[in-house]
Every structure is written in structure tokens, then in C-alpha cells.
Structure 1
């Protein structure tokens, strides 16, 4: 790729001749916003010869487009106006960015000739020939220089004292919002799947939408099973916060924002989800890898911001006094948010370099690694499997993932946790006692979002049990059935699942498998199975919209700026019956941040929320029906592998405080 030359030209009478020459009005679609006050030079030729009387300067010739300066140059040749010309040479550096490396300056220059060239199929141009009284050539990178004052008597005229008024400096604070999506959540994959379903005129509010999405993902995206996790869910609150984050704040306010979205752990846009990332939070799509991805996006986000700002203001007039981060995360994305905040506080060298590169020529005088204004996280579940913890994500050992939030890591931190989450593999990593934390009704993804509008739940609430009985024994007479019924009192005593038990139909179901060999004494036998079940329950995703509003309130209180939330927009609209409950939740969040007594929901309000809006995330797998709509299977010899969503002991969630101690 050839190097580029731009010309700045000033006349002793006409002033800044090159002003506005790089604009759209001047040269049409060849306009250069970064060089709007310069002239684009197509060709340049200059020669010098040695004679018996010294150096001979025949002059300099260059070719340029016909632009705003064309009539002004005609005036200059007509009036024999003295000019100053500065040619800046640019080349592409190893990072793919343009850098100025060479410069030619002429003083006391006079236009000697102008020739226009207008030919079909060739860009309109004009050839300009100038003579000069002074020339200086300098290689900016190597710092080598040559100059020649052809008429020494004209020195004072050529180099008059030039005291330019200093341009007004604009002081700004730039804040980068970084949004870490949850485990198995990817807004890009969700968007692509929703677009595919929209094209097929499929209604996402269908209770069986997940089944259709899974089939579509396999047919159109080539992913299935666990590898399709990020393709068959809805948008999370991280997506909505990223969408609402205001990135067009006028620069005159002095405080501006830009956004970075990071795909959820275990996912990559357009690719199958990673089992290793989803289950253990490690490797190329793990927690630490996602913080690396965020760092890689810093320079680009800053570059893009200044590319836009450079269209309306002069970048040299800017001084960035502070670079701040607003960091949001859900699930393992919340763990990534905490780890990322620690990298900032620890002045990570890679972050420092990314900021420096992103700023480019803009004057930045803030902290080298920036600082964090706000951390807003939903239900942190680090769940890191390491060799040290035996690949058991249930422990407090998070390996190299640093989720400790020390004093000074951010100006403000707010954590919203799930009151009705109790899965064994979803132990909570609290931020207490150091930072404000609010537990709201809901399961893990009722807090962070990600469910489809309506889900049909057909699940086992107890682990299916089976025993061998004589063929004529009613299954209700089996020990497995009696044990299943006895477990109902355990569920009713659990604060986590009791609201769901109270507001939904629970049944003790039995099923049989008669494919058993005969016993030599007892005769024909069968396998009798039993479990408590919850069937045909329809659950909506609207409660996560309440939680979104609670986090928005906390973030705005910390100074974060969002676009107004459009309550009529699909995905954000709130049912009327949740409006007053939303107000209560927001007030409770304010109380938590102030260290005051929380405003609790009444038992009646809890039941309203639980009946239609809280998903039963902890269960012993989904129910499978045969062709006769009867339950079959359900058993698994391995509790660890066979029941990944099983509840923790006693349906009570394991919680670790900031120091990793079990609460």
C-alpha cells in the first residue's frame, strides 16, 4: 500500500488556504475527517542540483484534487502571494495504524504554474508548480533533517515571530462499560436464533419454544445438546444493560461513555458451546479467558470512540483526565467481572498498554490502568473446577480466578442474589460483609435473566427411586412410593422451594417397567418407580425485568448513565401485577445500599411471584414421556453426572462469604 501525503497551506493574505479542503463539501466522498483542514496530495516531485555557484532549487511540483483551494491558488498566482506549505508523509505501521514519518516545509513559496487535468475515467486533478525561498526536510522517525535558506536576507520575513493562541482544552472523563454475560449466555447467538425464528413466523411466547429452538439450532446452526445451550435461551439482564448503556452523551458534558460486551463463559459467537467452559469455567472460554477478551477490546473501544468524537472536535484539544470502568456480570460472568476489577486495581500491565494504545495521540493524564466506578453483579457463581479442588465446582476454591473485592476496588459495588436458588452446582459467592448485597425472590436466571418468555416445566422434585416387586403389586404399595410421599414434608420445610410447593400442583407419580425376568420363587416381577413431580407448569420470565430495574437504580445512583427504559418494548415490558412489587424491590435495594433494614415481601406477595414467575431450577431432571404419555426412565446410577441440576442438601443453598468461608 502506497504512503499518503497531506498538505497544509497558508497564504500571507488569504490565511489558511487548506482549511476545510478535506471535508465532504470540498472533495465529495473522498473526504478525510481526520485531515479535514488539509489537502490530499496525489503526487509530489522535487529536485535539487549542484552548480558551480552552489545548490540549485528548480522548484517543487505536486498533484492534488480540484477542491476548495483551487480558486484560492489561482488568486495566489495572480497576486504573487507568498505561501507557506507543509507536506506531511504518512505510512502504515506494524499495528495497521497510520503514522506521520516525514515532512517537507516550504516558506516564501510562490505558485509558478497551474494545470488542470479533467479526463473521462480519471480523477479530476490539478498540477501545481511552486518556487520557494526556504526548504526544510525532516525524517520524524529517524530525527534527521536538512534545510536551506536560499535568500538569507529574507530570514525575518520568512520566520516572523508566531505566537499562536493556545486552543481551548476540553477536559473529559471517559467511562468504559464492560458487560460480562452469564454462563451459557451469548447475545449474538440468541439474536441469530431469534431472527431465524422470526423469519419462520414462530412465536417465542409458545411454552414449547425451547424445543423448537433446539431443533432450529441443530438444523440451521449445526449445534445440538449441551453445545447449543447459548442458542436456545433468551436475552439476559447483561444484554439489556449493555443495550441501555448510553454511549452518545454530548462531549460538552465532560463525561462520556463507551461499551464493551463479553460473551458468556463457555460460549463463542457462531460456534458450539464448550463443555469444559460450561461445566468448569476454565480453558479458552473460561472466566479468566473472558477477562482477557475484555482487555483485548479496550483499545478498540477507545479508538472507535475517538474516531466518532474526532468528527466534531479536534482531538489535540482533548485532555482525558480520567478513565473509569463500569463493570457488570451475571453468574460466572459476575466472577469474571470481579476478576477484571482486580486486574484494574492491581494495575495489570496489559490493561495499561491497551489504554495507552487506545488513547493514541489524545492527551491522557489519568491513572495508567484506569479505575472502577461501579460493579453491578447478579448472583455470582464462580464454580471453578481445578485440580486443587478435584474439579469440584461446589467448593470455595476458585483457583486463579480472583473474586475477592478488596476496599478501593471500586467506588460502589452492588450484588443481587437469588433467594430461590439451591442447586448443588450453583454455590453462591457472596460479597458480604464488605459490600451491599440484596437477595430477591427467584432462581439463578430469574435474577440474571436468560429464560424464554414462557417455559413449560415437567420435572422430578425428588430423585426417582425404583425397586423390584411382584408383578401384581400396585406401585403405590412400594417402598419407593412411600419414600417419595415422605419427602413432601422436607420440601414444605425448605424456604427455597416451599413457595413453589404452596402455589403449584405437586403429585407423587408412579410408573413401572414389566420387562423383568421371572423369579424362581416369587414368579413374575416388575420394577416399580416413584417420585414427586411438578407437571405442565407454565413459568414466565417477567421477574427478571424487575431485577433489571433494581440494578438500573443502583447503577444510576452511582452515576452510570442509561438511555430511558422503554416499558413498551418487547423483552422489557412489565406485567401490571408486578408494578407495585417492583417498587418494593427497588426500595429494598436502596435500603441494602444504605445499610438499613430491608423491606420484605409479604407471604401473599411471595406467593404471587412464586406461582407464575419463579422457575424451579433445582430438580432431579425433566420428565420423559413415552408414546402413551406415560413416564419412563428417570433413574441414574450417578448422582454427580446424572443429575447436574440436583438440589443441595436439604434444599438449602451453599453460600461462601468474601473470605471463602461457608455461611
Structure 2
């Protein structure tokens, strides 16, 4: 039975007439609606509460001190997104003063309490708050009062990391070193009429003094890396930086790795590059820059991922390695950075914490011995753009599409796949431009190759022409196909024994070189005819700058933090240097630029006038398929189906190893 006072009233009932009014706000006067918690009165009675944007009133309390503990998970999830007030907006302080001037419950004067997150929750397990947010003990609540509780904001940042996987045989530093050697070769050999004839002959054939990654130019991956911002955006609390990854099969300052280049094996393989990014490269980059800013920790990481060729395959494998996964190298490597921390509750498996923002890939080619994960799921990234080479036909360069069918009819809503004029490196970059050199660069622009060869044998017949045979007819048919597509200006035949047989074909000529030999049989001679289809041209290196510009525009619209595009930049120029041609690329660039910004599958080859397309092929497209010997034939021969060069397509298959 409850004790009674002298006037007959219940002491316990009388004690439960007290109240408290609470309004929890951030430093910008915004509430925390929906957060639940426990309020405990002076008698130890607990009351479940739910915060809202305005004040909440709790009645029937015992007198005395009151404690407040909010739900750990939901409070941290919301409170850690709230920013501090930097004092730049005087309206924030004015709004708080206005709130405090209004009377509270029962005309009480509102009391302001400034606290930290640590004052409002009980930490669990190994949770550790940033130093500025640990409990201060400043929160003091007494029944029959109205409080405005202002919680300190978190100075968390978003990391936006651009990861740039260069292509097979592509390496920026090696390209720059090779450029210096080529410049010296052009100046001291090719442009010196007193040079030895045998050396000048190499110039006329376009035989560069370097090879492999040293002969290639910087790719579009490197150029996008150079355009990616490395800065802290204070307004959006975002720290952006780029990480360049050397191409498959290459190492700075060393000879290219044959196993890495040919089969994607060893420590320069697709898988090895992804592991290096997760375990070393991102960590090293953040160690360089993160000490330059003051922050409480990382709220979220957004990845922009780029790649070309097998680098595009590495980019896709990287996406599948980290998207909603917590078993990759970043989980272990980032916490080892001195002073680096995540928000409490950061979860690699949740896309609100770790998200792929933009994926920009050029002409994905895997051709690897190792199993890799190239299939991109529909929700793997906020935006995916794939620019593909419409004039690439090499047998060992099948295209792994981002469509779920090889025909290119089924594609995710936020995916874009675009087919463009040009061979593999005309889209991904790597062919040199005259803008790279101060000397006359004609010799560096020469492309001379045997495209295919045809062989037949037949019984020798007196008086029969050396061009009257199946090998020559097949070669002529192939040459006519190339002529009709715009690769050359005319077809020229040279037969063994002709005076001009050993002379070079002129620029623009599609050459048929006929040679023969005899095999003696018992009663007759058999004739073996061999016909080479040759192509020699001077090809400019600016075509890849159109897909570069397209990818830049698509990435920029998707939020990738790029610098301003400046046409005066020698790496971005579309106009030719030291040469005038019947077609210029600026108009084509303007026509195609925005195409990658809309979703779907586009074949832009069909949107270019046929006459213009032929001129593009003639002066800007490189003919990547060729057969200049046994090894070259294995690597670079065309994929022939029904006597025509046809590219093999592979479908996008999420979850499957390839």
C-alpha cells in the first residue's frame, strides 16, 4: 500500500507529476526525426522516446536528474552525416536565438546544452569515436525544464578515388622515355640527308628505334588520369585523387614482360594489378595527401574506375572485387594509414558507404589465362560507359561487351555502349601524334604492313599468267574490300621478275606482291603462288582524342571530378600539325561528343556519312590486323569468317569467371 501524506494524498503519485521537454538539433538547427532512445527519470524509470524535428514532451516523471541514451546504430547512421557550422551563415545563429527566445513547456525558459555524440550513446564493442566527439559529460538534464540539445557536427569527408588501369603494353613513363628517343631519331637520323642510306631506309619504313610500351604514346586512360582533380572540395567535403596503374605486361623503366603482355600472367597480370591497387597503390596515394586536411574520418568512398584493353578487363575485375565485398585488400590496407579512420559503422558491403560511381572503359579485351570477373551487374555502378572499336578485327582481340547478349540488344538502364570508327588503340589511345614532337614527324606516322597472304599450288601451264590463279584472285578480292572501305587509294600489283618488284609501294597503295616457285614432280612441275596484300600509309594519331573527349564528357556529367577541357592542351588537340588533309576531326568530335551521355547501345559508324568515314579510315584509322611474320601473325592476324574480317563478341555475364 502506498504511503499517504498528512492531507491523504499518495506520495508516489504526487512525485510523478514532473516533465521534461527536449529538442535535439544539429549545428544547423535541423532535427533528428525518427531516432529512438531511452529516457530515465530520477526514480530509475525508463521511457521509450522517439525524436522529431520539433521538441518532444515527456510527462509523469519522478523529480530530479534525467538521463538520455539514444539508439546506437540509428543515431550514428544519421548523426555522422551532419556537418559542423562553419560560421559563414549568420542566419543559423539567428534561428537558434529565435528558438531559444520562445517559451518552453509551462512558459519555461529554454536551456541550451551543447554536447557530442559520445554524450548521447553507449559505445558498443570496439567502437571508437573521433577525439572531438567522445563523451564530455556536459549533458545535464533536470525534470521540469525545457532543453535544446545541440550536437556537434562531424567533419567527415567523402573520398572520391579515380582508379586508372592502363592498357596492355601501355606505360606512361615508358612512353615519355620512348618519345625522347624517337624525337632524337627524327632529328638526328630521319631529317638529316647526310645520314647513311640504310638508316634513312628504316625511316622510310617507319621502323622506330624503340618498341613495346616505349613505342606507344600515352593512352586515353593516362590522359583522363591527368585531367582528374587531385584536391579537397571544401564545399562538398570531398577529397578527390587519382591512382594510375601501369598497363598489363609493363613496368616503368624495364623491358615489357612477355608472359604478362601475351597471357596476362605474373606480377603484371590483370589480377596482380587489381591486388596492387587494393593492397598498395591507393594506400600510398592517401598517405601522401590525407595529412593536408583536418577531418574526423571518412564517411563514404566513391570509386571512378577507368581502363583500356586488358586494363578495361582489370577495371571490371576491380569493380567485382570491391562492390559489396569486405574481403579485399583495401579492408586491411587503409586502416594502417597513420591518422586514417572511417566513420563508426562503415561497412564495405553497403553501397551507401562504398560505391562505384562511374565506370569508363575503352574496348575491353581480356585474352587472359587467369580466371577473371568481367561481368558487370546492373547495379554495380551508378553509371557505366563502354567505348568500342568498330574497325578492330584481330582474332586475339575479342570484345567483351557490357550487353547481356553478343548482338548488343540487352543492356542495363544506366549502361552505355558505343561503337566508334577506329581500331583498338584508335579508341583507347596509344598511337603517337605529331603534337608530341618538335621535329618533322613523318617517319613516326608511317604504317606499313602485310595485311594477309594467300597461297595456292597448281600444275604449271605454259603461257599462263602469274596472276591467273586462286591465290591472286582471293588476294585481289580482299584488296578490293579494303579499297571499298577507304583504307587506300588504289590497288597496285607487282609480280616477281618485274623491274619494280623490289620497290616500295607508295603511300596509299594497297599492294599485291606476287611471288612463285616450282616444285618438280615425276612427270610435271607444280607451281606454288604466294600473294601478299600490303598496305603502306601515313596515319595521323588524333582519332583517339574523340573517344577521349566523349568519355570525359560522360564522366563529368556523372560526377567524376575532372579539370576543365582545354583544346590548347597538346594531348587533346584535334587539329593537325604540319599537314593538311581532306577531312578534319573537329566536326566529327562535335557530332559525336554527347553520344556517350545517354544510355543504350549506339553504333556511331552508321551516323557518319560514308564518304567521311572512308576519309577517316584513310588518314586516321590504323589497320591493326596484320601478318608480318610467324609471331606477328599469331598475335595480330585477322579473325576471318567466310573470307571476311569479323570481330568476335562476348556477352556480359555477371558472376561468371572468364
Which residue of structure 1 lines up, in the alignment, with residue 288 of structure 2?
304
In 1: Cα distance, 2:649 partner to 2:330 partner: 32
Contact 1:327 1:337 in 2 (8 A): yes
Partner of 1:603: 610
1:325–1:371 Cα contact (<8 Å) kept: yes
1:472-529: CA deviation from partner (whole Å, max 9, x where unpaired): 864223442233223446657xxxx834367995545233366x67666557x87542
Relative distance call for 1:474 and 1:359 in structure 2 (3 A) is farther
Alignment-derived partner of residue 3 in structure 1: none
Q: Is 1:498 equivalent to 2:478 in the alignment? A: no
Superposition TM-score, scaled by structure 2 size: 0.61
Cα distance in 2 for partners of 1:419, 1:185 equals: 21
Alpha-carbon distance in 1 for matches of 2:620, 2:254: 31
Please tell me the root mean square deviation across aligned C-alpha atoms, in Å.
Answer: 3.6
Distance 1:293 1:204 in 2: 41
Whether the aligned pair in 1 keeps the contact of 2:625 and 2:636 (CA below 8 Å) is no
Partner of residue 291, structure 1: 274
Residue in structure 2 matched with residue 644 of structure 1 by the alignment: 636
Output one character per residue of 1:13-59: Cα deviation in whole Å (capped at 9) or x when no partner.
Answer: xxxxxxxxxxxxxxxxxxxxxxxxxxxxxxxxxxxxxxxxxxxxxxx
Q: 1:597 to 1:196 in 2, by over 3 A?
A: closer
What is the TM-score of this pair, normalised by structure 1? 0.61
What pairs up with 1:385-396 in 2 under 5 angstroms?
385=369
Matches within 5 A, 1:126-205: 169-198=154-183, 202=187
Q: 1:328 and 1:658 mapped to 2: Cα distance?
A: 17
Is residue 483 of structure 1 aligned with residue 474 of structure 2?
yes
2:319 equivalent to 1:341: yes
Aligned to 2:227: 244
Task: Note if contact 1:508-1:530 (Cα within 8 Å) is conserved in structure 2.
Answer: no
Distance 1:513 1:651 in 2: 26
Deviates more, 1:255-264 or 1:453-462: 453-462
CA distance in 2, matches of 1:326, 1:203: 43
The equivalent residue for 2:106 is none
Cα separation, 2, equivalents of 1:487 and 1:212: 24
CA 1:287/1:204 → structure 2, altered by over 3 Å: closer, same or farther? farther
Q: Give 1:170 deviation, angstroms.
A: 2.6
User: For residues 283 and 503 of structure 1, do their structure 2 counterparts lie closer, same or farther at Cα, with a shift above 3 Å needed?
Assistant: farther
**Equivalent-residue separation in structure 2 for 1:465 and 1:654 (angstroms):** 25
**Structure with greater contact order relative to length (CA < 8 Å, sep ≥ 6):** 2
Could you say what secondary structure the match of 1:486 adopts? helix
Contact 2:301/2:355, CA 8 A, preserved across alignment: yes
Please report how far the alpha carbon of residue 347 of structure 1 lies from its aligned counterpart in structure 2 after TM superposition. 2.5
Residues 374-393 of structure 1: per-residue CA shift (max 9 Å, x gap): 110000001123xxxxxxxx
Structure 2, unaligned runs of 5 or more: 1-136, 140-149, 192-199, 404-410, 434-443, 492-507, 577-583
**How many residue pairs are counted as aligned between the two chains?**
448
Take 1:498 and 1:645, find their aligned partners in 2: how far apart are those partners?
18
* Counterpart in the other structure of 1:553: 553
Distance in 2 between residues matched to 1:373 and 1:503, nearest whole Å: 48
In the aligned structure 1, how far is the partner of 2:330 from the partner of 2:340?
18
Q: Residues 375 and 517 of structure 1: is their aligned pair in 2 closer, same or farther, counting only changes over 3 Å? A: closer
CA contact (8 A) 1:181 1:239 kept: yes
Which of the numbers 313, 330, 339 marks the counterpart of 1:360?
Answer: 339
Task: Tell me how far 1:193 sits from its aligned partner.
Answer: 1.8
Cα distance in 1, alignment partners of residues 283 and 558 from structure 2: 25
Q: Distance in 2 between matches of 1:578 and 1:478?
A: 42
Q: Pairwise mapping of residues 404-419 of structure 1 onto structure 2 (< 5 A)?
A: 404-419=375-390
Instruction: Give how far 1:587 is off.
Output: 2.6
**Offset of residue 575 of structure 1:** 1.8
Q: 1:210, 1:548 → 2: CA distance?
A: 30
Corresponding residue number in structure 1 for 2:36: none
- Deviations 1:248-281 (Å, cap 9, x if unpaired)? 3443441221111111111111222122111122
* Counterpart for residue 122 of structure 1: none
